[in-house]
Amino acid sequence: MYDVQREQPRTHAGSRAPAASWPPAPFHPPVAVVKAKEFQVAPGSKVDLDDYDPDDTRGHKSADEVAGKLNEKLANIARLQERLYAEGRRALLIVLQGMDTAGKDGTIKSVLRDVNPQGDITTSFKVPSKEELAHDFLWRVEARVPPRGMIGVFNRSHYEDVVIVRVHELVPKDVWSRRYDEINDFERRLVESYVTFVKIFLHISKKEQKERLEDRLKEEDKHWKFNPDDLKERARWKDYKEAYEDALSRCSTKWAPWHIVPADKKWYRNFVVADIVEEALREMDPKFPQPSFDPAAIKVE
């Protein structure tokens, strides 16, 4: 399911081994390379989150083991983002969803660490305002779609309108149930225009959520992140799980597939998401625009 860096081939008996370099290069154990597509939800498949282990790290043992590779990925994301910005023809939209405490903020902070702030826009969707409620549910979302040349991040998104709206019965079932098709049409229209989607569900366990909520109560500098209402939402875990399973099943499409990322281990979560974002940008393959002048013919006095 993933590749491992190959060791250097051994020399045959009697052959001369290549001269050793000095000083010797530091030893790094083979690192399994994540393959983004391994985390994709196949279009048309039925998702059962019990089939996905939120604590999975694909054999990795620690953050130190993947640190070098992660830094390479973050540097590549920054370089590709610069090309995307310079090219100015397309946009990348990262959609992050997950249960409370899944780590959406931490993921953004890590994966876009090296990106020029001029080149990305992060939108956190909160409770809709009175004006937003007066429009179609996609109205406020479309207004925040990143323009050409930018990376956009949705910290929560239009999927709240088939998740929290469903769980809390804010609209009738016949209303929210139509929204899956409306979301698919909306995303397809954007993809056919200029947007590439990266949709990521950060999958944590109920046990891990408990520990993270408790940490927020224990540490003073995390008290601001705790909301007593989080416990009421936690009590609806089963309802949220079912709502997310339907959203992941019905809205993972060929043009905008979902990825289910194991998120109990924050370091592995960041590693996987960085790989998915890097691969999306590589496939977009943005190019620096050609100058409209001959640089060699210009002399700066």
* CB atoms near residue 67 (< 10 Å): 14
Give the chain's length. 301
| Whether this model's pTM surpasses 0.95 | no
According to the model, what pLDDT value does residue 37 have?
82
Give me the chain's average pLDDT, please.
Answer: 89
Q: What is the pLDDT of residue 27?
A: 32
Q: Which candidate, 58, 127, 115, 2, places its Cα nearest to that of 267?
A: 58
Take residue 105 and report the two structure tokens written for it.
């903020």
| pLDDT of 26 higher than 60 | no
Question: What was the pLDDT predicted at 36?
Answer: 72
Residue 24 pLDDT? 36
Q: Check pLDDT > 50 for residue 297.
A: yes
Mean pLDDT, residues 128-136 taken together: 94
- Domain ranges within the chain, ordered by starting residue: 37-284
Q: For residue range 207-250, what is the model confidence (pLDDT) as tens digits?
A: 999 999 999 999 998 999 898 989 999 999 999 999 999 999 99
The predicted pLDDT at position 144 comes to 97
Residue pair 84/90 in contact (Cβ under 8 Å)? The answer is yes
Query: Can you tell me the mean pLDDT for 111-134?
Result: 94
What are residue 204's phi and psi, to 5 degrees? -115, 160
CATH annotation of 37-284: 3.40.50.300
Q: In angstroms, how far is CA 261 from the centroid of its own chain? A: 8
Q: Average the pLDDT over 164-172 and give the result.
A: 96
Question: String of b and e for 259-268 (b: at least 16 CB within 10 Å)?
Answer: bbbbbbbbbb
Distance CA 76, CA 265 (A): 23
Beta-sheet strands, E only, within the chain: 3-4, 32-33, 91-98, 120-124, 151-155, 195-203, 258-262
What is the per-residue pLDDT for 34? 58
Task: Tell me what the mean pLDDT of segment 273-288 comes to.
Answer: 97
| Paired tokens of 147 | 């323009």
pLDDT in tens, 79-102: 999 999 999 999 999 999 999 999
